[in-house]
Amino acid sequence: MDLPLIWFIAIAVLWIGYFVLEGFDFGVGTLLPAVGRDDTDRRVMINSIGPVWDGNEVWLITAIGATFAAFPAWYASLLSGFYLPVLLILLALIVRGVAFEYRGKGDTDRWRAWWDRAIVFGSAVPTVLWGVIFANIVRGVDMGADHVVDAGLLDLFGPYALLGGLTTLSLFTLHGAVFLTLKTDGDVRRRSREQAMRAGAVAIPAGTAFLAWTQAAHGTAWTLPVAVAAAGALVLGVVLAARGREGWSFTATAVAIGTLTVTLFGSLYPDVLPSSTDPAHSLTVANAASAPYTLTVISWVALVFLPVVVGYQAWSYWVFRRRVTREHIEPAPAYGGGSAAAGGGDAPASPGSG
C-alpha cells in the first residue's frame, strides 16, 4: 500500500471537512453585524452554531496533527514560512472562542458590542488567511535545499494569494448565510437570504477567477472537471438560495467548498510544498513522509478513532437539528444571574432550542 499517498488524501479530506463545517461557522460570525439588528437576533445567530462550532474545530486539530505525524518535513517547512499568519489565525480563534463564552457575562450593550466585534474579527481573519495560505502553498514559495521558507510576510500577499483570500471570505460568508436560512426563521432568515445574494455576487466572480487561475497555472487534466464542478456548484448554490431551497442550497455551497479544496490539493500533488526557487528543492509526498512504521501505526489509530469522532459529531447535528427562533431566546440576565446556559445567552440549553 502507498501509505504516503493515502495520508495525503486523508489530510485533504480532513481539510474538506474543516472548511465545509467551520466555513459556515466563520460565515455566521462574519455576518453578525449585517444580519443581527438587535441583541436577540445576534443571539439567535450564535445559538444556531452554539452546539457545533467547537466540534467543527476538531477537524483542524486532526488535520494539523495528521500533517505532523505523516509528513513532519511538510509541517516544519510550513511553519518556517507561515508562522505569523498561522499565529494570527490561532489568536483569532482563541478570541472568537472567548467571545462566545463571555458576551453574555455582562448586561450592558457596550459589553456585548465589544465581544460581538471580537466574534467578527475571530471569524473573518481566519477566513481570509486560510485562502492566502493555501494559495501560496499551491503557487510555491521561496525555499532552498534546507527546506526552510525564505519568503517574507509581504511576499505571501501576492495577487493570486489575495484572490484566494477574497474567495474564501466570500464563499464562507455565502455558506454561513445559507446555513442561517436553513437554521433560523423570521427576520433573521429573511435578512440571511439577502446577505446570501450579496455574498454570492462576490463569491461567484472571485471563486470562478481563482479556480480558472489555479487550473491554468497549476492544474492537471483531472482537476479541470473538478474545478468546473466547483464553479457550477457555487452558482447553483446562489440560485437555489434565491428560490428558497435552503437545504439544497447548503448542499451546493458545501460541494463548492469541497471541490475547491480538491482542486487545490489535486493541483499540488505530487508536491506538498513546491519550491519556486528550484523545483529540485520541493517537498513531495515521497520525500516529506514519515517512516513506513510510523505511517502504519497512525493508520491503525485513525481506523479506530475516526469513526467514533464522525459518529459523535453526526449525532450532535441530529440532536440540534431544529430551527432557532427569537422565541427560543430568554431575556439576558444581569451579570452573574441565572443558569450557566442562560447567563451565557449563546448556547442552546436543550435540543428543542437548537
For residues 223 and 262, give the distance between their C-alpha atoms in angstroms, rounded to a whole number. Answer: 8
Which pLDDT score, from 0 to 100, does residue 173 have?
97
Share of the chain above pLDDT 70, in %: 92
Which pLDDT score, from 0 to 100, does residue 338 have?
40
- pLDDT at residue 71 is higher than 50: yes
Average of pLDDT values for 163-184?
96
Which pLDDT score, from 0 to 100, does residue 201 have?
97
- pLDDT at residue 350 is higher than 50: no
pLDDT confidence bin for 351, thresholds 50/70/90: very low
Which pLDDT score, from 0 to 100, does residue 154 have?
84
- pLDDT at residue 306 is higher than 50: yes
Mean pLDDT for the chain overall = 90
Let me know how long the chain is: 354
Global model pTM greater than 0.75: yes
Q: What is the pLDDT of residues 130-173, one digit of tens each?
A: 999 999 999 999 998 999 998 778 889 999 999 999 999 999 99
Listed residue (58, 54, 55, 70) closest to 10, CA to CA: 70
pLDDT confidence bin for 78, thresholds 50/70/90: very high
Which pLDDT score, from 0 to 100, does residue 341 have?
37
For residues 156 and 165, give the distance between their C-alpha atoms in angstroms, rounded to a whole number. Answer: 11
Which pLDDT score, from 0 to 100, does residue 333 have?
56
For residues 39 and 32, give the distance between their C-alpha atoms in angstroms, rounded to a whole number. Answer: 10
Contact 330, 47 (CB under 8 A): no
Strand partners, 141: 275
**Cβ neighbours for 100, distance < 8 A, ≥ 6 positions apart:** 46, 50, 53, 119, 344, 346, 347
Strand partners, 271: 284
Which pLDDT score, from 0 to 100, does residue 300 have?
95
For residues 141 and 131, give the distance between their C-alpha atoms in angstroms, rounded to a whole number. Answer: 15
For residues 172 and 351, give the distance between their C-alpha atoms in angstroms, rounded to a whole number. Answer: 26
pLDDT confidence bin for 348, thresholds 50/70/90: very low
Average of pLDDT values for 83-112?
92
Average of pLDDT values for 115-128?
96
Share of the chain above pLDDT 90, in %: 75
Q: Which of 148-162, 204-218, 324-338 has the highest mean pLDDT?
A: 204-218
For residues 76 and 81, give the distance between their C-alpha atoms in angstroms, rounded to a whole number. Answer: 9
- The residue with greater pLDDT, 186 or 327, is 186
- Residue 101: what residue type? E
Which pLDDT score, from 0 to 100, does residue 331 have?
64
Contact 159, 132 (CB under 8 A): no
